Amino acid sequence: MNLKRFTILSILCLLLKLQVQAQDEAGDTASGTTGLRYGFKVGLVVSEFSNAQPHTSEKLGFTAGAVVEYGFNDRLSVQAEPSYLQQGGSLIKFVDDTRFGDTESLGSSSTTNYAITIHSVDVPVLAKYRLPAFGDFVPNIVLGPTVSYAVMVDTYFERTYHHNQTFITVNGYDNISNEYESIQIGATAGVGGEVSLGAKRLMLDLRYRYGITTAKPSFSYIDLKAVQGDLTSHNIYFTLGIGF
């Protein structure tokens, strides 16, 4: 995710530079952006857990929701985006019960790969600033807090048991909502733009959501309390929407 964060920051810096260069040019303000507006959007999400424990990786998800925006003037507005958001990531856990004196058997040692989905209602409330238009395209930058409620957390897993050159792999599904925090607080930043379609508008947005509070507490990749960490969830997502 470090490369994604660098890319987003680079885009933000570029757009801010362009805005400063063009702020004195006449005729570059967006029109029809004051008052209440709304829309709908869908998109793809790439999410992962923080690296408080090793062997975490990314997972692809989906988002869909609404946009409610109130414009104060042609530049500045506030925008809420209540959405269904699939967060999560991939984890690996190693278990070896013989460390604690258990008799070695087929079930005493295993390696499990988890693909975890946090099904969330996500509500970012964002300050939105429009930059000077490039033809029909009006770019913008957004920044603000996010609150997420985890409706359900589930996982598809692949577990391999190993003992004396014998390996057995099983696949399964589990509801693990009780292992995750129901409320998460984060911060969202991004860039986007709009293109007029007559009475409607096409909205293109790239967002990065940084998880501040814990999503999964006390996770240990080797199943030891002495080696554990709290995991947060970070996401980058691209959406396409229609506004009215």
Percent of the chain whose pLDDT exceeds 70? 86
| Spatial distance between the Cα atoms of 7 and 231, rounded to a whole number of angstroms | 23
Q: How confident is the model at residue 192, as a pLDDT?
A: 97
54: pLDDT strictly greater than 50: yes
Kind and range of the H or E run holding 7: helix 2-22
In this prediction, residues 96-105 reach a mean pLDDT of: 76
Instruction: Find where tokens 């409610």 sit.
Output: 68
pLDDT band at 12 (very low <50, low <70, confident <90, very high): low
Whole-number pLDDT of residue 191: 98
* pLDDT tens-place string over residues 166-213: 889 999 999 999 999 999 999 999 999 999 998 899 999 999 999 999
Mean pLDDT over 78-85 rounds to 98
Is residue 27 pLDDT above 50, yes or no?
no
pLDDT at 8: 56
- Comparing 28 with 38, the larger pLDDT belongs to 38
On whether the CB atoms of residues 184 and 148 are closer than 8 A, the answer is: yes
Residue type at 49 in one-letter notation: F
**Structure token pair of residue 95:** 């278990």
Looking at the predicted structure, is the pLDDT value of residue 146 above 60? yes
Answer for the pair 69, 38: CB distance below 8 angstroms, yes or no: yes
